[in-house]
Structure 1
Amino acid sequence: MKFGVVAFPAKKLQDVANSYRKRYDPHYELITPHMTLKDAFEVDENETKKLAQGLEEIAKRHKPFKLHATRVSTFSPLTNTLYFKVDPDPGILSLHKDLHTDFYDSQTKYSYVPHITIAQKMSDSEHADIFGQLKMVGIDHEEIIDRIHLLYQLEDGSWTVHDTFRLTGDDQ
């Protein structure tokens, strides 16, 4: 089965992200706006309970963190993806590191950039046009994230929550 670990922002930010995603993101119907903490990875279905227990232990080691979306940015020229940039809060970076240290698939393809995708898979000209517009609009949203979510992918490609874990920082 394919799993991933994410943090969901408040509905207010999700609504803003979705106002762009429904037009510019072909994955709009597959997943709710989120900040990825661990990219998709494969785990045998029989290991699901062990996976959840491991994630519970990680969540106990981390306190809630601040999510501050500060502007619209892009991964261009790598990909024509637009996103709300999230400040790299030490809590986010520490949690991301923990999720990639001896926890299932520890490999990462790219350097970690905390973000919430709002548009992707656009043509070069559409990307340039939309980025120019959204750069001027901007974003400034701040909230505290106190839980993370283990998602799994369904057969139709959509993602759904398998389990939710509170960030308690109990083990520190």
Structure 2
Amino acid sequence: MNYGIAVFPSREAQDYANSFRKRYDTHYSLIQPHLTVRESEDWSEARLQEAVEHITRIAQTIAPFDAKLNRFSSFYPVNNVIYLALEENEPFQSMVEAVCSGPLAETNRRYGYNPHLTVGQELSDDELHDVLSSLRKKPVNLPFKVDRLHLLYQTDNKAWTVYQTFLLQGQR
């Protein structure tokens, strides 16, 4: 079964993202707006248990932190994806490095890690440029607290749902 790890932003940020995702994101109906922490991967039951133990340990060492989505950006020309970008990547990046270590180390990541919330994907070049040019003009100010990680699994109909939630319990 496929498993992945994500952070869900505030309801306000999710609602804002969904106002664009329903039109521009082909995965709109499969997963709620999120920031990927670890890409999906097919895990055995033993691997799942190892992952749960690892995430439990790591979550006890990471302190909750504040994040803010503050602009629209794109991965063009590498990928025709439009996303909401974080004002500051560092705390998120540190969390990802801790989670994606040891038994959850990612050796086959296709791209360098850039935390983001996808609002459009699988767009043609023309559509991407048209949509992005209008979205870049919009002011974005969506603060949220990162205080938990979600281990997700993919159902038979390709939708994603939460398997387990881990509260970040570290101290600053």
Same fold? TM cut 0.5:
yes
SS of corresponding position for 2:98: helix
Task: State the Cα deviation string for residues 86-108 of structure 1 (Å, max 9, x = none).
Answer: 13443211111112222335222
Unaligned runs of 5+ in 1: none
Contact 1:99 1:106 in 2 (8 A): no
Task: State the Cα deviation string for residues 41-79 of structure 1 (Å, max 9, x = none).
Answer: 221024323321211111111011222101000000011
Q: Which residue of 2 aligns with 1:97?
A: 97
Structure 1 residues 1-172: aligned runs within 5 Å: 1-107=1-107, 108-169=109-170
Unaligned runs of 5+ in 2: none
1:98 maps to a residue whose letter is: A
Query: Comparing 98-107 with 69-78, which one deviates more in the overlay?
Result: 98-107
Contact 1:85 1:115 in 2 (8 A): yes
Task: State the Cα deviation string for residues 87-145 of structure 1 (Å, max 9, x = none).
Answer: 34432111111122223352222111111000000111111100001001131111211
How far is the alpha carbon of 1:155 from its aligned partner?
1.3
Distance between the aligned counterparts of 2:119 and 2:16, measured in 1?
A: 9
1:12 maps to a residue whose letter is: E
Distance between the aligned counterparts of 1:89 and 1:78, measured in 2?
A: 20
- Percent identity reads 34
1:41 maps to a residue whose letter is: E
Contact 2:100 2:106 in 1 (8 A): yes
Runs (4+) of structure 1 moved beyond 2 Å? 45-50, 87-91
Report how many residues are paired: 171
TM value normalised by structure 2? 0.93
TM value normalised by structure 1? 0.93
